[in-house]
Structure 1
Amino acid sequence: MNNSIINASVTMQGLQQKLDVLANNMANVNTVGYKKKEASFENVLTNTMNQPQGFMKTGRMTSLGLPQGWGAKLVGLQNIMTQGSLKPTDEPYDLAIEGDGLFEVTIPGSNTPAWTRDGALKLSAYNKVDPATGAVTKAMGLATKDGYFVKDTASNQPIEIAIDPADPTLQNSRVRVDEQGRVVVYNEANPASTGRQVGQIKLVKVINPQLLGEADGNYFRLPANVAQNNVFAANTDGVTVKQGFLEQSNVDLQQEMSELVMIQRAFQLNSRAISSADTMMGLANNLRG
Protein backbone atom coordinates (compact mmCIF):
# COMPACT_ATOMS: atom_id res chain seq x y z
CA MET A 1 0.00 0.00 0.00
CA ASN A 2 2.91 2.31 0.73
CA ASN A 3 4.22 1.43 -2.72
CA SER A 4 0.90 2.42 -4.28
CA ILE A 5 1.01 5.82 -2.59
CA ILE A 6 4.60 6.43 -3.72
CA ASN A 7 3.82 5.35 -7.29
CA ALA A 8 0.75 7.57 -7.55
CA SER A 9 2.34 10.62 -5.91
CA VAL A 10 5.42 10.51 -8.14
CA THR A 11 3.22 10.17 -11.22
CA MET A 12 1.08 13.11 -10.10
CA GLN A 13 4.19 15.30 -9.95
CA GLY A 14 4.98 14.38 -13.55
CA LEU A 15 1.39 15.01 -14.63
CA GLN A 16 1.48 18.44 -13.01
CA GLN A 17 4.59 19.28 -15.04
CA LYS A 18 2.81 18.09 -18.18
CA LEU A 19 -0.11 20.38 -17.33
CA ASP A 20 2.33 23.28 -17.04
CA VAL A 21 3.69 22.52 -20.52
CA LEU A 22 0.18 22.37 -22.00
CA ALA A 23 -0.77 25.62 -20.29
CA ASN A 24 2.33 27.33 -21.71
CA ASN A 25 1.52 26.08 -25.22
CA MET A 26 -2.06 27.29 -24.96
CA ALA A 27 -0.97 30.68 -23.63
CA ASN A 28 1.24 31.13 -26.72
CA VAL A 29 -1.29 30.04 -29.32
CA ASN A 30 -1.26 33.58 -30.78
CA THR A 31 2.47 34.27 -30.31
CA VAL A 32 4.26 34.93 -33.61
CA GLY A 33 6.69 32.15 -34.52
CA TYR A 34 6.14 30.19 -31.29
CA LYS A 35 7.06 26.50 -31.40
CA LYS A 36 5.14 24.16 -29.15
CA LYS A 37 6.82 21.98 -26.54
CA GLU A 38 6.12 18.34 -25.74
CA ALA A 39 7.03 16.61 -22.49
CA SER A 40 8.91 13.29 -22.42
CA PHE A 41 8.60 10.88 -19.49
CA GLU A 42 10.32 7.74 -18.29
CA ASN A 43 9.90 5.26 -15.43
CA VAL A 44 11.54 6.41 -12.21
CA LEU A 45 12.58 2.88 -11.26
CA THR A 46 11.45 -0.69 -11.85
CA ASN A 47 12.36 -3.52 -9.52
CA THR A 48 11.16 -7.02 -8.68
CA MET A 49 9.63 -8.04 -5.36
CA ASN A 50 10.91 -11.40 -4.11
CA GLN A 51 8.43 -14.25 -3.65
CA PRO A 52 8.78 -17.40 -1.50
CA GLN A 53 9.74 -20.62 -3.25
CA GLY A 54 6.35 -21.98 -2.28
CA PHE A 55 4.88 -20.05 -5.19
CA MET A 56 6.95 -22.16 -7.59
CA LYS A 57 4.45 -24.87 -8.50
CA THR A 58 4.60 -27.51 -11.20
CA GLY A 59 3.61 -26.03 -14.54
CA ARG A 60 4.26 -22.42 -13.55
CA MET A 61 5.31 -20.54 -16.69
CA THR A 62 6.51 -17.28 -15.15
CA SER A 63 9.53 -16.82 -12.91
CA LEU A 64 9.21 -15.85 -9.27
CA GLY A 65 9.07 -12.14 -8.58
CA LEU A 66 6.52 -9.39 -8.91
CA PRO A 67 7.52 -6.49 -11.21
CA GLN A 68 6.97 -3.18 -9.51
CA GLY A 69 7.21 0.39 -10.78
CA TRP A 70 7.63 3.65 -8.90
CA GLY A 71 5.88 6.10 -11.17
CA ALA A 72 7.06 8.29 -14.05
CA LYS A 73 9.08 11.49 -14.16
CA LEU A 74 9.63 14.29 -16.67
CA VAL A 75 13.00 13.91 -18.41
CA GLY A 76 12.87 16.73 -20.93
CA LEU A 77 10.97 18.98 -23.30
CA GLN A 78 11.03 18.53 -27.06
CA ASN A 79 10.88 21.49 -29.43
CA ILE A 80 8.33 20.73 -32.14
CA MET A 81 9.60 22.71 -35.12
CA THR A 82 6.81 22.04 -37.60
CA GLN A 83 5.92 24.91 -39.92
CA GLY A 84 3.26 27.33 -38.72
CA SER A 85 0.80 28.95 -41.11
CA LEU A 86 1.86 32.20 -42.79
CA LYS A 87 -0.36 35.23 -42.29
CA PRO A 88 -0.05 38.08 -44.82
CA THR A 89 0.44 41.53 -43.28
CA ASP A 90 1.91 43.54 -46.20
CA GLU A 91 4.23 45.22 -43.69
CA PRO A 92 7.78 45.59 -45.11
CA TYR A 93 9.47 44.68 -41.83
CA ASP A 94 7.38 41.56 -41.19
CA LEU A 95 9.35 38.47 -42.22
CA ALA A 96 8.49 34.79 -42.07
CA ILE A 97 10.71 31.74 -42.54
CA GLU A 98 9.74 28.74 -44.64
CA GLY A 99 11.74 25.62 -43.82
CA ASP A 100 13.77 24.46 -40.83
CA GLY A 101 15.46 27.79 -40.21
CA LEU A 102 15.87 30.45 -37.55
CA PHE A 103 16.85 34.12 -37.51
CA GLU A 104 20.11 34.71 -35.65
CA VAL A 105 19.93 37.79 -33.45
CA THR A 106 22.37 39.61 -31.21
CA ILE A 107 21.56 40.35 -27.59
CA PRO A 108 22.59 43.89 -26.56
CA GLY A 109 25.48 43.85 -24.11
CA SER A 110 26.25 40.19 -24.76
CA ASN A 111 28.37 38.24 -27.22
CA THR A 112 26.03 35.27 -26.94
CA PRO A 113 23.75 34.82 -29.97
CA ALA A 114 20.13 33.78 -29.81
CA TRP A 115 17.72 32.44 -32.41
CA THR A 116 14.04 32.93 -33.11
CA ARG A 117 11.25 32.37 -35.64
CA ASP A 118 9.59 35.65 -34.66
CA GLY A 119 9.93 37.89 -37.69
CA ALA A 120 7.85 40.83 -36.44
CA LEU A 121 10.71 43.30 -36.88
CA LYS A 122 11.00 47.07 -36.66
CA LEU A 123 13.55 49.77 -37.41
CA SER A 124 15.46 50.61 -34.25
CA ALA A 125 18.58 52.57 -33.35
CA TYR A 126 21.71 50.89 -32.01
CA ASN A 127 25.28 51.86 -31.17
CA LYS A 128 27.57 51.03 -34.07
CA VAL A 129 31.21 50.55 -33.10
CA ASP A 130 33.95 51.22 -35.65
CA PRO A 131 36.35 48.24 -35.31
CA ALA A 132 39.30 50.37 -36.47
CA THR A 133 38.88 53.41 -34.23
CA GLY A 134 36.44 52.23 -31.59
CA ALA A 135 34.25 55.24 -32.30
CA VAL A 136 30.57 54.80 -31.50
CA THR A 137 27.88 56.20 -33.79
CA LYS A 138 24.14 55.79 -34.00
CA ALA A 139 22.79 53.50 -36.71
CA MET A 140 19.45 51.97 -37.68
CA GLY A 141 18.87 48.24 -37.84
CA LEU A 142 16.17 45.58 -37.91
CA ALA A 143 15.23 44.46 -34.40
CA THR A 144 12.66 42.26 -32.71
CA LYS A 145 10.16 43.75 -30.27
CA ASP A 146 12.63 42.94 -27.46
CA GLY A 147 15.39 44.99 -29.09
CA TYR A 148 17.42 42.02 -30.38
CA PHE A 149 19.00 42.99 -33.71
CA VAL A 150 19.00 40.66 -36.70
CA LYS A 151 22.55 39.82 -37.78
CA ASP A 152 24.19 40.23 -41.17
CA THR A 153 25.60 37.05 -42.73
CA ALA A 154 28.92 38.60 -43.77
CA SER A 155 29.78 40.85 -40.83
CA ASN A 156 27.98 38.94 -38.06
CA GLN A 157 26.87 42.38 -36.83
CA PRO A 158 23.45 44.06 -36.96
CA ILE A 159 22.35 44.94 -40.49
CA GLU A 160 22.65 48.70 -40.90
CA ILE A 161 19.71 50.22 -42.77
CA ALA A 162 21.53 53.25 -44.16
CA ILE A 163 19.15 56.02 -45.24
CA ASP A 164 21.16 58.89 -46.71
CA PRO A 165 19.07 61.88 -47.89
CA ALA A 166 22.00 63.00 -50.05
CA ASP A 167 21.96 59.73 -52.01
CA PRO A 168 19.26 59.83 -54.74
CA THR A 169 19.09 56.04 -54.62
CA LEU A 170 18.06 56.14 -50.98
CA GLN A 171 15.76 59.17 -50.91
CA ASN A 172 12.25 58.21 -49.72
CA SER A 173 13.78 54.85 -48.92
CA ARG A 174 11.94 51.57 -48.53
CA VAL A 175 13.27 48.13 -47.66
CA ARG A 176 12.93 45.02 -49.80
CA VAL A 177 13.91 41.52 -48.62
CA ASP A 178 14.19 38.62 -51.08
CA GLU A 179 13.83 34.89 -50.39
CA GLN A 180 17.55 34.52 -49.62
CA GLY A 181 17.29 37.25 -46.98
CA ARG A 182 19.14 39.91 -48.98
CA VAL A 183 18.12 43.35 -47.71
CA VAL A 184 17.87 46.06 -50.36
CA VAL A 185 17.09 49.74 -49.79
CA TYR A 186 15.39 51.40 -52.77
CA ASN A 187 13.64 54.64 -53.74
CA GLU A 188 9.89 54.52 -53.13
CA ALA A 189 9.28 56.58 -56.27
CA ASN A 190 10.98 53.90 -58.35
CA PRO A 191 10.13 50.47 -56.89
CA ALA A 192 11.50 48.68 -59.95
CA SER A 193 14.98 50.10 -59.36
CA THR A 194 17.79 47.84 -58.27
CA GLY A 195 18.41 49.87 -55.14
CA ARG A 196 21.37 49.11 -52.92
CA GLN A 197 21.98 45.94 -50.94
CA VAL A 198 22.86 46.76 -47.33
CA GLY A 199 23.19 43.23 -46.00
CA GLN A 200 21.84 39.71 -45.88
CA ILE A 201 19.86 38.38 -42.95
CA LYS A 202 21.74 35.63 -41.15
CA LEU A 203 19.75 32.41 -41.14
CA VAL A 204 20.63 29.03 -39.66
CA LYS A 205 19.16 25.66 -40.58
CA VAL A 206 18.27 23.46 -37.61
CA ILE A 207 19.09 19.76 -37.87
CA ASN A 208 18.77 18.81 -34.19
CA PRO A 209 16.22 21.08 -32.50
CA GLN A 210 16.13 18.99 -29.32
CA LEU A 211 19.55 20.37 -28.35
CA LEU A 212 18.25 23.95 -28.40
CA GLY A 213 17.57 25.48 -25.01
CA GLU A 214 15.04 28.17 -24.16
CA ALA A 215 16.01 31.78 -23.60
CA ASP A 216 13.86 34.57 -22.20
CA GLY A 217 10.88 35.27 -24.41
CA ASN A 218 10.36 33.58 -27.76
CA TYR A 219 14.02 32.72 -28.32
CA PHE A 220 16.33 29.73 -28.40
CA ARG A 221 19.91 29.46 -27.18
CA LEU A 222 22.66 26.84 -27.11
CA PRO A 223 23.56 25.20 -23.79
CA ALA A 224 27.20 25.65 -22.79
CA ASN A 225 28.07 22.01 -23.51
CA VAL A 226 26.56 21.91 -27.03
CA ALA A 227 28.48 22.87 -30.19
CA GLN A 228 26.74 24.76 -32.99
CA ASN A 229 27.72 22.18 -35.62
CA ASN A 230 25.71 19.58 -33.67
CA VAL A 231 22.57 21.69 -34.00
CA PHE A 232 22.85 23.68 -37.23
CA ALA A 233 23.58 22.56 -40.79
CA ALA A 234 26.55 23.88 -42.73
CA ASN A 235 24.21 25.54 -45.25
CA THR A 236 20.69 26.95 -45.37
CA ASP A 237 19.38 24.96 -48.34
CA GLY A 238 15.59 24.84 -48.30
CA VAL A 239 15.25 27.84 -45.95
CA THR A 240 13.62 30.93 -47.47
CA VAL A 241 12.31 34.28 -46.25
CA LYS A 242 8.88 35.72 -47.06
CA GLN A 243 8.52 39.49 -46.73
CA GLY A 244 5.14 40.85 -45.67
CA PHE A 245 4.17 37.67 -43.80
CA LEU A 246 4.28 36.48 -40.19
CA GLU A 247 4.47 32.85 -39.15
CA GLN A 248 1.78 31.88 -36.69
CA SER A 249 2.23 29.55 -33.73
CA ASN A 250 2.19 25.82 -34.57
CA VAL A 251 0.06 25.07 -31.49
CA ASP A 252 -3.14 23.17 -32.31
CA LEU A 253 -5.55 24.39 -29.64
CA GLN A 254 -7.97 21.48 -30.10
CA GLN A 255 -5.17 18.94 -29.65
CA GLU A 256 -3.89 20.74 -26.56
CA MET A 257 -7.38 20.79 -25.05
CA SER A 258 -7.79 17.04 -25.71
CA GLU A 259 -4.47 16.31 -24.01
CA LEU A 260 -5.45 18.58 -21.14
CA VAL A 261 -8.61 16.55 -20.50
CA MET A 262 -6.66 13.26 -20.59
CA ILE A 263 -3.98 14.53 -18.21
CA GLN A 264 -6.59 15.86 -15.80
CA ARG A 265 -8.33 12.48 -15.87
CA ALA A 266 -5.05 10.66 -15.19
CA PHE A 267 -4.32 13.08 -12.34
CA GLN A 268 -7.74 12.35 -10.86
CA LEU A 269 -7.25 8.57 -11.09
CA ASN A 270 -3.88 8.76 -9.33
CA SER A 271 -5.43 10.93 -6.63
CA ARG A 272 -8.10 8.28 -6.08
CA ALA A 273 -5.40 5.60 -5.93
CA ILE A 274 -3.76 7.47 -3.05
CA SER A 275 -7.12 7.81 -1.27
CA SER A 276 -7.86 4.09 -1.72
CA ALA A 277 -4.42 3.06 -0.46
CA ASP A 278 -4.79 5.37 2.53
CA THR A 279 -8.19 3.86 3.35
CA MET A 280 -6.78 0.32 3.14
CA MET A 281 -3.90 1.26 5.44
CA GLY A 282 -6.41 2.64 7.93
CA LEU A 283 -8.40 -0.60 7.84
CA ALA A 284 -5.25 -2.66 8.35
CA ASN A 285 -4.23 -0.55 11.34
CA ASN A 286 -7.69 -0.94 12.88
CA LEU A 287 -7.55 -4.72 12.45
CA ARG A 288 -4.16 -4.88 14.16
CA GLY A 289 -5.41 -2.63 16.93
Structure 2
Amino acid sequence: MVRSLWSAATGMNAQQTNVDTIANNLANVNTTGFKAQGAQFKSLLYQNLNTVTTTANGDPKPTTSQVGLGVRTAALTQYFSQGSLLDNPSTSAVAISGDGFFSYNDADGRQVFTRNGDFIWAIGDPDGESLVLTTSDGNPVLNTEGEEIRLENGEVSNKITIGIDGTIYYPDEDGVPQEVGHRIGLWQFQNPGGLERLGSTSWAVSAASGPAMNEAENEDLTSSILRQGYLEGSNVNVATEMVNLIVAQRAYEMNSTAITTTDSMMQTANQLKR
Protein backbone atom coordinates (compact mmCIF):
# COMPACT_ATOMS: atom_id res chain seq x y z
CA MET A 1 0.00 0.00 0.00
CA VAL A 2 2.96 2.34 0.47
CA ARG A 3 3.59 1.96 -3.25
CA SER A 4 0.24 3.56 -3.98
CA LEU A 5 1.17 6.58 -1.86
CA TRP A 6 4.24 7.31 -3.97
CA SER A 7 2.45 6.57 -7.27
CA ALA A 8 -0.36 8.98 -6.41
CA ALA A 9 2.17 11.59 -5.30
CA THR A 10 3.93 11.42 -8.69
CA GLY A 11 0.54 11.84 -10.34
CA MET A 12 -0.16 14.98 -8.33
CA ASN A 13 3.25 16.43 -9.23
CA ALA A 14 2.69 15.67 -12.92
CA GLN A 15 -0.77 17.24 -12.94
CA GLN A 16 0.59 20.30 -11.17
CA THR A 17 3.02 20.75 -14.07
CA ASN A 18 0.10 20.27 -16.44
CA VAL A 19 -1.93 22.97 -14.69
CA ASP A 20 1.10 25.31 -14.69
CA THR A 21 1.48 24.86 -18.45
CA ILE A 22 -2.22 25.46 -19.12
CA ALA A 23 -2.20 28.53 -16.88
CA ASN A 24 0.75 29.96 -18.81
CA ASN A 25 -1.10 29.40 -22.09
CA LEU A 26 -4.20 31.17 -20.81
CA ALA A 27 -2.13 34.03 -19.39
CA ASN A 28 -0.63 34.64 -22.85
CA VAL A 29 -3.85 34.34 -24.85
CA ASN A 30 -3.43 37.97 -26.00
CA THR A 31 0.37 37.90 -26.41
CA THR A 32 1.40 38.63 -30.00
CA GLY A 33 3.13 35.67 -31.64
CA PHE A 34 2.78 33.40 -28.60
CA LYS A 35 2.81 29.65 -29.23
CA ALA A 36 1.02 27.31 -26.84
CA GLN A 37 2.64 24.40 -25.00
CA GLY A 38 1.28 21.07 -23.84
CA ALA A 39 2.56 18.74 -21.11
CA GLN A 40 3.37 15.17 -22.16
CA PHE A 41 3.72 12.33 -19.63
CA LYS A 42 5.30 8.89 -19.44
CA SER A 43 5.01 6.10 -16.88
CA LEU A 44 7.83 5.30 -14.49
CA LEU A 45 9.52 1.90 -14.17
CA TYR A 46 7.41 -1.18 -13.48
CA GLN A 47 8.08 -3.43 -10.51
CA ASN A 48 7.91 -7.21 -10.90
CA LEU A 49 5.64 -8.76 -8.31
CA ASN A 50 6.43 -12.29 -9.41
CA THR A 51 9.60 -13.14 -11.31
CA VAL A 52 8.56 -16.75 -12.01
CA THR A 53 7.72 -17.01 -15.71
CA THR A 54 6.14 -20.47 -15.71
CA THR A 55 3.28 -22.17 -13.97
CA ALA A 56 3.65 -25.04 -11.50
CA ASN A 57 3.37 -27.42 -14.43
CA GLY A 58 6.21 -25.67 -16.26
CA ASP A 59 3.97 -23.95 -18.83
CA PRO A 60 4.77 -20.31 -19.78
CA LYS A 61 2.50 -17.74 -18.16
CA PRO A 62 0.39 -15.73 -20.65
CA THR A 63 0.71 -12.55 -18.61
CA THR A 64 3.27 -10.87 -16.38
CA SER A 65 2.95 -9.72 -12.79
CA GLN A 66 4.08 -6.10 -12.87
CA VAL A 67 2.78 -2.92 -11.26
CA GLY A 68 3.55 0.65 -12.29
CA LEU A 69 5.30 3.11 -9.99
CA GLY A 70 3.69 6.33 -11.18
CA VAL A 71 4.20 8.98 -13.82
CA ARG A 72 6.54 11.83 -14.66
CA THR A 73 6.58 14.76 -17.07
CA ALA A 74 8.31 13.67 -20.28
CA ALA A 75 8.25 16.93 -22.25
CA LEU A 76 6.53 20.25 -22.78
CA THR A 77 5.61 20.19 -26.46
CA GLN A 78 5.49 23.48 -28.38
CA TYR A 79 2.72 23.95 -30.93
CA PHE A 80 3.61 26.21 -33.86
CA SER A 81 0.24 26.29 -35.58
CA GLN A 82 -0.72 29.52 -37.31
CA GLY A 83 -2.30 32.20 -35.13
CA SER A 84 -5.04 34.56 -36.30
CA LEU A 85 -3.99 37.70 -38.18
CA LEU A 86 -5.21 40.75 -36.31
CA ASP A 87 -5.56 44.20 -37.86
CA ASN A 88 -3.14 46.79 -36.43
CA PRO A 89 -2.98 50.53 -37.27
CA SER A 90 0.84 50.65 -37.18
CA THR A 91 2.56 50.69 -40.60
CA SER A 92 5.55 48.88 -39.07
CA ALA A 93 3.44 45.98 -37.79
CA VAL A 94 4.03 42.80 -39.82
CA ALA A 95 2.45 39.36 -39.51
CA ILE A 96 3.80 36.08 -40.91
CA SER A 97 1.53 33.69 -42.78
CA GLY A 98 3.56 30.50 -43.07
CA ASP A 99 6.36 28.69 -41.24
CA GLY A 100 8.94 31.48 -41.17
CA PHE A 101 10.47 33.34 -38.23
CA PHE A 102 11.77 36.90 -37.95
CA SER A 103 15.25 37.28 -36.50
CA TYR A 104 17.20 39.80 -34.43
CA ASN A 105 20.36 39.92 -32.34
CA ASP A 106 19.89 40.22 -28.59
CA ALA A 107 22.06 42.26 -26.22
CA ASP A 108 24.63 39.44 -26.11
CA GLY A 109 24.89 39.27 -29.89
CA ARG A 110 23.07 35.94 -30.13
CA GLN A 111 20.69 35.45 -33.04
CA VAL A 112 17.15 35.12 -31.75
CA PHE A 113 14.01 34.15 -33.67
CA THR A 114 10.44 35.33 -33.13
CA ARG A 115 6.97 35.38 -34.66
CA ASN A 116 6.20 38.74 -33.02
CA GLY A 117 6.13 41.32 -35.80
CA ASP A 118 5.26 44.30 -33.61
CA PHE A 119 8.16 46.36 -34.99
CA ILE A 120 9.08 50.02 -34.68
CA TRP A 121 11.02 52.38 -36.94
CA ALA A 122 13.46 53.85 -34.40
CA ILE A 123 15.78 56.83 -34.83
CA GLY A 124 19.17 55.36 -35.74
CA ASP A 125 21.50 58.31 -35.03
CA PRO A 126 21.61 61.49 -32.91
CA ASP A 127 20.87 63.69 -35.94
CA GLY A 128 17.69 61.80 -36.68
CA GLU A 129 18.59 61.25 -40.34
CA SER A 130 18.35 57.45 -40.31
CA LEU A 131 15.74 54.90 -39.31
CA VAL A 132 16.32 51.37 -38.00
CA LEU A 133 13.65 48.67 -37.90
CA THR A 134 13.62 47.25 -34.37
CA THR A 135 11.56 45.06 -32.10
CA SER A 136 9.54 46.66 -29.31
CA ASP A 137 12.58 46.02 -27.04
CA GLY A 138 14.88 47.99 -29.35
CA ASN A 139 16.71 45.04 -30.95
CA PRO A 140 17.45 45.62 -34.68
CA VAL A 141 15.54 43.29 -37.01
CA LEU A 142 17.75 41.44 -39.50
CA ASN A 143 17.40 41.41 -43.27
CA THR A 144 18.02 38.45 -45.57
CA GLU A 145 21.79 39.10 -45.31
CA GLY A 146 21.73 38.92 -41.52
CA GLU A 147 22.28 42.66 -41.15
CA GLU A 148 20.22 45.39 -39.52
CA ILE A 149 17.68 47.25 -41.67
CA ARG A 150 18.82 50.87 -41.74
CA LEU A 151 17.44 53.67 -43.96
CA GLU A 152 19.70 56.73 -44.23
CA ASN A 153 18.04 59.06 -46.74
CA GLY A 154 15.71 60.92 -44.41
CA GLU A 155 12.74 58.61 -44.98
CA VAL A 156 9.47 59.18 -43.13
CA SER A 157 8.35 56.05 -41.31
CA ASN A 158 4.63 56.24 -42.16
CA LYS A 159 5.40 56.28 -45.90
CA ILE A 160 7.37 53.03 -45.81
CA THR A 161 5.61 49.98 -47.20
CA ILE A 162 6.52 46.31 -46.90
CA GLY A 163 5.79 43.77 -49.64
CA ILE A 164 4.48 40.25 -49.11
CA ASP A 165 8.02 38.90 -49.57
CA GLY A 166 9.48 41.33 -47.01
CA THR A 167 10.90 43.82 -49.53
CA ILE A 168 10.85 47.39 -48.18
CA TYR A 169 9.65 50.23 -50.42
CA TYR A 170 9.64 54.04 -50.21
CA PRO A 171 7.83 56.36 -52.64
CA ASP A 172 9.81 58.52 -55.06
CA GLU A 173 8.95 62.09 -56.04
CA ASP A 174 6.06 60.81 -58.13
CA GLY A 175 4.69 58.73 -55.26
CA VAL A 176 5.67 55.41 -56.87
CA PRO A 177 7.05 52.91 -54.32
CA GLN A 178 10.70 52.03 -54.98
CA GLU A 179 12.88 49.37 -53.38
CA VAL A 180 15.32 50.70 -50.79
CA GLY A 181 17.67 47.72 -50.89
CA HIS A 182 16.42 45.82 -47.85
CA ARG A 183 14.26 42.74 -47.41
CA ILE A 184 13.12 41.48 -44.04
CA GLY A 185 14.76 38.13 -43.35
CA LEU A 186 12.73 34.99 -42.69
CA TRP A 187 14.07 31.67 -41.43
CA GLN A 188 12.63 28.18 -41.06
CA PHE A 189 13.63 25.04 -39.14
CA GLN A 190 13.43 21.32 -39.77
CA ASN A 191 12.01 20.81 -36.28
CA PRO A 192 10.65 24.07 -34.81
CA GLY A 193 9.37 22.13 -31.80
CA GLY A 194 13.00 21.62 -30.78
CA LEU A 195 13.79 25.34 -30.53
CA GLU A 196 15.04 26.59 -27.18
CA ARG A 197 12.42 28.88 -25.68
CA LEU A 198 13.95 32.12 -24.39
CA GLY A 199 10.72 33.93 -23.57
CA SER A 200 7.07 33.93 -24.44
CA THR A 201 7.71 34.83 -28.11
CA SER A 202 11.44 34.29 -28.71
CA TRP A 203 13.48 31.19 -29.48
CA ALA A 204 17.09 30.19 -30.13
CA VAL A 205 18.58 27.43 -32.27
CA SER A 206 19.27 24.11 -30.55
CA ALA A 207 20.61 20.74 -31.61
CA ALA A 208 17.04 19.40 -31.68
CA SER A 209 15.72 22.16 -33.96
CA GLY A 210 18.47 21.96 -36.56
CA PRO A 211 20.15 25.01 -38.12
CA ALA A 212 18.18 28.04 -39.27
CA MET A 213 17.38 27.93 -43.00
CA ASN A 214 17.15 31.28 -44.79
CA GLU A 215 14.07 31.39 -47.01
CA ALA A 216 15.81 33.77 -49.42
CA GLU A 217 18.64 31.29 -50.02
CA ASN A 218 16.77 27.96 -49.96
CA GLU A 219 14.51 27.30 -52.94
CA ASP A 220 13.22 24.06 -51.42
CA LEU A 221 11.35 25.96 -48.70
CA THR A 222 7.80 27.21 -49.10
CA SER A 223 8.15 30.97 -48.72
CA SER A 224 6.13 32.68 -46.02
CA ILE A 225 3.92 35.67 -46.78
CA LEU A 226 4.14 38.94 -44.83
CA ARG A 227 1.13 41.15 -44.16
CA GLN A 228 1.81 44.78 -43.33
CA GLY A 229 -0.65 46.32 -40.89
CA TYR A 230 -1.37 43.01 -39.17
CA LEU A 231 -0.03 41.09 -36.17
CA GLU A 232 -0.19 37.36 -35.56
CA GLY A 233 -2.20 36.61 -32.46
CA SER A 234 -1.63 33.80 -30.00
CA ASN A 235 -2.57 30.30 -31.18
CA VAL A 236 -4.06 29.47 -27.76
CA ASN A 237 -7.57 28.01 -28.01
CA VAL A 238 -9.33 29.16 -24.85
CA ALA A 239 -12.08 26.52 -25.02
CA THR A 240 -9.57 23.69 -25.42
CA GLU A 241 -7.39 25.00 -22.62
CA MET A 242 -10.37 25.28 -20.25
CA VAL A 243 -11.35 21.66 -20.99
CA ASN A 244 -7.75 20.56 -20.41
CA LEU A 245 -7.72 22.51 -17.15
CA ILE A 246 -10.84 20.71 -15.91
CA VAL A 247 -9.37 17.33 -16.86
CA ALA A 248 -6.10 18.15 -15.07
CA GLN A 249 -8.00 19.28 -11.98
CA ARG A 250 -10.03 16.06 -11.88
CA ALA A 251 -6.88 13.96 -12.32
CA TYR A 252 -5.23 15.86 -9.46
CA GLU A 253 -8.26 15.27 -7.24
CA MET A 254 -8.31 11.53 -8.07
CA ASN A 255 -4.64 11.17 -7.14
CA SER A 256 -5.34 13.01 -3.91
CA THR A 257 -8.24 10.63 -3.24
CA ALA A 258 -5.91 7.65 -3.84
CA ILE A 259 -3.58 8.96 -1.15
CA THR A 260 -6.46 9.47 1.27
CA THR A 261 -7.79 5.96 0.55
CA THR A 262 -4.37 4.40 1.08
CA ASP A 263 -3.99 6.26 4.35
CA SER A 264 -7.40 4.99 5.49
CA MET A 265 -6.47 1.40 4.60
CA MET A 266 -3.19 1.68 6.52
CA GLN A 267 -5.05 3.00 9.56
CA THR A 268 -7.44 0.03 9.39
CA ALA A 269 -4.53 -2.40 9.17
CA ASN A 270 -2.84 -0.79 12.18
CA GLN A 271 -6.02 -1.13 14.24
CA LEU A 272 -6.37 -4.89 13.67
CA LYS A 273 -4.17 -5.67 16.67
CA ARG A 274 -6.55 -3.88 19.02
TM-score, normalised by the number of residues in structure 1: 0.83
Listed as ranges, the matches of 1:48-197 within 5 Å are 48-50=48-50, 56=55, 62-63=61-62, 65-108=64-107, 110-126=108-124, 139-154=130-145, 156-164=146-154, 170=155, 174-187=159-172, 190-191=174-175, 193-197=176-180
Judged with a 3 Å threshold, the aligned counterparts in structure 2 of structure 1 residues 173 and 3 are, in CA distance, closer, same or farther, namely: closer
Tell me the residue number matched to 1:210: 193
Distance in 1 (CA, whole Å) between partners of 2:150 and 2:130 is 6
Partner of 1:101: helix, strand, or coil? coil
Aligned mate of 2:242, from 257, 261, 271: 257
**C-alpha contact 1:177 1:184 (8 A) present in aligned 2:** yes
State the AA in 2 paired with 1:180.
Answer: D
Instruction: Give the paired residue count.
Output: 270
Report the alpha carbon displacement of residue 126 of structure 1 after superposing the two structures with TM.
5.0
Root mean square deviation of aligned Cα: 2.9
Distance in 1, Cα, partners of 2:85 & 2:14:
34
Write the distance in 2 (CA, Å) between the matches of 1:56 and 1:245.
70
| 1:271 aligned onto 2:256 | yes
Gaps of 5+ in 2: none
User: Which of 232, 238, 248 is matched with 1:247 structurally?
Assistant: 232
Deviations 1:208-267 (A, max 9, x none): 1121011134201123x4574388874542311111111111100000000000000000
How far apart are residue 124 of structure 1 and its match? 2.0
1:159 is aligned with what amino acid? I
| Cα distance in structure 2, aligned partners of 1:117 and 1:111 | 19
Say whether the 8 Å CA contact 1:48–1:68 is kept in structure 2.
Answer: yes
The aligned amino acid for 1:150 is V
Give CA deviations for 1:81-118 in whole Å, capped at 9, x if unaligned: 1111111224210100011111011113x221111111
Write the distance in 2 (CA, Å) between the matches of 1:121 and 1:29: 20
Q: 1:220-239 residue pairs with structure 2 within 5 A? A: 220-223=203-206, 225-226=207-208, 228-229=210-211, 234-235=218-219, 236-239=221-224
AA matched with 2:109: N
The answer for unaligned runs of 5 or more in structure 1 is: 129-136, 165-169
Q: Determine the C-alpha separation between the residues in 2 that align with 1:283 and 1:231.
A: 64
Cα distance in 2 for residues equivalent to 1:138 and 1:17: 51
Q: Which amino acid aligns with 1:258?
A: V
